[in-house]
Chains A and B, each alone.
Chain A
Amino acid sequence: MTRRRTTPWPLILLSPGVGLLVLFVLLPILLTAWISLHTWSMYTPLSQMDYVGLANYRGLLNDRTFIRGLWNTLAYSGLSITLILPLAFFVGQLLYRGLIRGKSTLRAVVFLPYMIPTIAVAIIWGYLYAPLYGPLNQVLGWFGIAPRAWLGSVDQAMISLVIFNVWQTLGYYTVLMVAGLTQIPAVYFEAAVIDGANGWQQTWRITLPLLRRTLLFVVVIAMINSVQVFDPVYVLTQGGPASATTVLSYQVYKNAFEFGLAGKASSMAFVLFLVLVVAVAAVMRLLRDPTGES
């Protein structure tokens, strides 16, 4: 490809896709940053914003609900990733190297919940968790475990949301893991077997180091997905009980569309964005290949 005529084709073919991305993604995110420096009621035109500098952000520092929401968002994401990463690796290994038959059925079954609207998942689990009429406490009772309040308890509500997030998304991350596993050349394992390495050693010395890029990708995607959790909080807990499950995205929505506080909501949204950028950058640094290859 040495011909470098200037043709109009790149411009023509790119403008619908890139133009819409600029209009509906890049412009809005700049607007969010701009609006966050103002007080503005959602119900008035954009021209009636009052510039207040960083006052919204200073307000957030003293806003206990917001601090709680920030903490809850981080807890939800952290817990989700902590559970998803080993489980997806484990199921991925079972699917890729397991001795069993019927692997494609297993893969389909694990993946199935990912297809379902999160609202439906939340509703189903809401009934599973029902303290009296739900099956979960009943099953625990068979093993002599006392019933729990699940979503109704300040201590258990958050982990209850995390559990069904893991249930819903595990299949997606498992497929990513399998895709990564298939890229590890089989000769490494063959050589390891000849050298007398057992399964455990193979996993720690070969699989995990060579899976670094996939693990990094899974963590980043899981972070992006869980940091914006909204649907289950909206439909099941409304942030309760006693702000135990209030999360940033829920507060953004509530402040903007229920209280009309667009400036405050935008400052929260921008904090969410910054948290995500910092977290992704930190993970990239932490899990980066020490040899410098991407």
Chain B
Amino acid sequence: MQRRLLMAVQYLVYALIVVLMLFPLFWMVASSFKTPQELQALPPVWLPSSIDFSAYARAFSTVPFARSFLNSFVIAGGSTLGILITSIMAGYVFAKLHFRGRNQLFALVLSTMFLPPIVMLVPLYKIVQSLGLVDTLAGVMLPNIANAFGIFLMRQFIAGIPDELLESARLDGASEWTNLWRIVFPLLGPAIAALVVFAFTFHWNSFLWPLTVLQSPDQQTVVLALNRLVSYTSAIKFQNVVMAGAVISVLPNVLLFVFLQRYFIAGIAHTGSKG
């Protein structure tokens, strides 16, 4: 009897959490379909009377969303690829190769994981400027390419691969380069998936650094375009346009999440349990 009561309470809490978590997203989608009249109705109207996509067209014509989608894909994709390569190579060294000062160097790498980018923003901008990369996608990507979290994740994962596998290949005369790409790399599937979804969404979502580096309209990322959209059309009757923009900016990540959810969870759980 007590167990039943407990279960009922838990389902109630479950429902409450689901409503609280999903309501803002519902409001975003619903508002993107509302007409200006519905947006200005009092008390507020919760559901649009019809599914009207004109706000989406308006969002695309107000800011260059199509172009910014491409830019975001280049930045998030390029950064992710760079992070994968540097992290796998460095992670392999920290997990499997021995040299003097390795642990100290690894600690130094880890310490950079927790530095807020805002602390480095001014010199970072100056460095990118001196390389002539202000207002370029490359300028946004370049400092992203090495990532302590990626190195950490790969090191943890590679450490779990048995040494014997590598030793026998070494006896056959394989170099570390061959070992890494022929033996270790094919075993890294889950770790690569986790790092890809993490790095991609992180750099898709990032705002401060692209805001600092990029200026001209055709270099904007999706998130910057959304920010522009808000500053153009913040009046309540344009809420549908802004919310349409929000839906557009959210879509790739939500799709990625729906299909690759377990890799996210596994990646976080990994850092938590060993961190």
Contacts and interface: CB of A to CB of B under 8 A. Distances in A.
Interface of A: 1, 4, 6-7, 9-10, 12-14, 16-21, 23-29, 31-32, 35, 42, 46, 91, 94, 98-100, 102, 106-113, 115-121, 123-125, 127-128, 130, 132-135, 138, 141, 164, 167, 171-172, 175-176, 178-180, 182-183, 214, 217, 220, 224, 227-228, 230-231, 234-235, 248-249, 252-253, 256-257, 262, 265-266, 269-270, 272-273, 276, 280
B199 to A, nearest CB: 13
Nearest to A262: B122
A253 B118 contact: yes
Given A99-B10, A120-B246, A13 B226 contact: no
Contact of A124 (B117, B243, B253): B243
A273 B115 contact: yes
A86 B132 CA distance: 48
Q: Which of A17, A115, A276 has the most CB of B within 10 A?
A: A17
Q: Which of A26, A102, A115, A164 has the most CB of B within 10 A?
A: A115
26 contacts: A4-B98, A12-B177, A14-B90, A16-B86, A16-B145, A19-B146, A21-B146, A27-B123, A28-B120, A32-B119, A42-B122, A106-B17, A112-B21, A119-B249, A133-B236, A175-B268, A217-B272, A224-B114, A228-B117, A230-B208, A231-B207, A249-B118, A252-B122, A253-B212, A262-B122, A272-B118
A164 B21 CA distance: 10
Q: Which of A7, A10, A31, A270 has the most CB of B within 10 A?
A: A10
A137 B107 CA distance: 49
Contact of A106 (B18, B43, B142, B269): B18
Contacts of A266: 122-123
Given A124-B246, A127-B243, 10 more contacts: A14-B89, A29-B123, A98-B14, A108-B257, A112-B257, A117-B207, A119-B205, A119-B226, A127-B239, A135-B44
Given A31-B123, A106-B18, A249-B118, A119 B207 contact: yes
Nearest to A21: B146
Contacts of A171: 21
Given A14-B89, A94-B14, A123-B242, A99 B118 contact: no
Contacts of B49: none
B92 A13 contact: yes
Interface in B188-235: 201, 204-205, 207-208, 211-212, 222-223, 226-227, 230
Contacts of B124: 24, 28
A17 B46 contact: no
B241 to A, nearest CB: 11
B97 A16 contact: no
B165 interface: no
A133 B127 contact: no
Interface in B72-126: 85-87, 89-90, 92-93, 97-99, 102, 105, 108-109, 112, 114-126
A113 B23 CA distance: 11
B90 A18 contact: yes
B112 to A, nearest CB: 4
A265 to B, nearest CB: 6
B20 interface: yes
B226 A113 contact: no
A20 B115 contact: no
B86 A17 contact: yes
Interface residues of B, number: 97
A29 B119 contact: yes
B137 interface: no
Nearest to B128: A24
A167 to B, nearest CB: 7
B180 interface: yes
A115 B176 contact: no
Contacts of B272: 175-176, 179-180, 214, 217
A109 B258 CA distance: 10
Contact of A115 (B24, B108, B142, B257): B257
Given A31-B123, A111-B264, A116-B250, A7 B176 contact: yes
A280 B275 CA distance: 15
B1 interface: no
Given A28-B127, A32-B122, A17 B212 contact: no
Contacts of B24: 113, 121, 124-125, 128, 164, 167
Given A18-B109, A99-B6, A120 B226 contact: yes
B169 to A, nearest CB: 14
Contacts of A230: 118, 207-208
Contacts of B105: 14, 18
Contacts of A98: 10, 14
Contacts of A24: 120, 124, 127, 142-143, 146
A133 B116 contact: no
Contact of A109 (B22, B85, B123, B177): B22
Nearest to A176: B272
B59 interface: no
B63 interface: no
A124 B28 contact: yes
A29 B22 CA distance: 40
A17 B257 contact: no
